Amino acid sequence: MSRPAGAVSADALLSVRDLEAWYGESHVLHGVSFDVREGEVVTLLGRNGAGKTTTLKSIIGIMGKRTGSVRYGGRETIAMASRHVARLGVGFVPEERGIFASLSGLENLTLPPQVKPGGFTVPQVYELFPNLKERSGSQGTKLSGGEQQMLAIGRILRTGAKLLLLDEPTEGLAPVIVQQIGRTIERLKREGFTIVLVEQNFRFAQTVADRHYIVEQGRVVDMIPNDVLDANIDKLHGYLGV
């Protein structure tokens, strides 16, 4: 983290600087700063309540009040409404997944409009997640947790988003589904997607990420490259309270 606080990395697709955010009167983010290069997978790690999810919501623009700078593809987005940020090619998959109970799997999948060219087709989503094809006629809430997570990711891929913000994609899922989500993230990275991942399971994060930002009390306090994570495991345990 040696770059000056206000400097923007020349090769950053996403650059967050001095980001502050509030829930009502509660001041949650206190100057979050980090960069993500195109094609990278980075994680935000930290204890519960550290501000990780709030950071993702602030990037996509669904916080009531936020200040600072969020630049995507060189364009400042801090004053944009979330629908305009999405049209730039930023997709958010929330922890609660947002599956509509009254709609079938296929209807949920095709509900959002394409905002950028090059989004996945329905057959491409089914090739990525074969379970969804088998359950395309099932109501959203009758899908398993893993199938709902696949549906939430597939739905965003259809929009044409190239920066994916994934909030706790493996939480509560069976190990076999976690492995499938991991393979999906690895494939998307190979295909040129950029991913910011909030994840409690740092062992899973270690299998997919290039770098890890540590968030504490609404600030990024450290960055650990994935290739030296094992050498810094005691420090990471200290941050996470493991």
7 belongs to a structural domain: no
pTM score? 0.92
Give the domain CATH number at 24: 3.40.50.300
131 belongs to a structural domain: yes
6 belongs to a structural domain: no
HSE-up of residue 215 (Cα within 13 Å, Cβ side): 28
Residue-wise burial string across 55-94, b where 16 or more C-beta atoms lie within 10 A, e elsewhere: bbbbbbbebeebebebbbeeeebbebebeebbbbbbbbbb
Amino acid identity, position 23: Y
Structural domain boundaries, residue 97 = 12-240
Q: Which long-range contacts link 224-232 to residues 24+ away (Cβ below 8 Å)?
A: 229/202
50 belongs to a structural domain: yes
3 belongs to a structural domain: no
Q: Which helix (H) or strand (E) holds 217?
A: none
200 belongs to a structural domain: yes
Return phi, psi of residue 235, to 5°. -65, -40
What percent of the chain has pLDDT above 90? 78
Instruction: Enter the tokens of residue 131.
Output: 């379970």
Model confidence pLDDT, tens digit, residues 189-212:
999 999 999 998 888 999 999 999
Model confidence pLDDT, tens digit, residues 4-61:
344 446 689 999 999 999 998 899 999 999 999 999 999 999 999 999 999 999 999 9
| pLDDT confidence of residue 6 | 43
| pLDDT confidence of residue 122 | 95
Which of 117, 211, 193 is closest to 153 using CA atoms? 193
Model confidence pLDDT, tens digit, residues 212-233:
999 999 999 999 999 999 999 9
What is the largest distance, in Å, between two alpha-carbon atoms of the chain? 52
Q: How many domains does the chain have?
A: 1
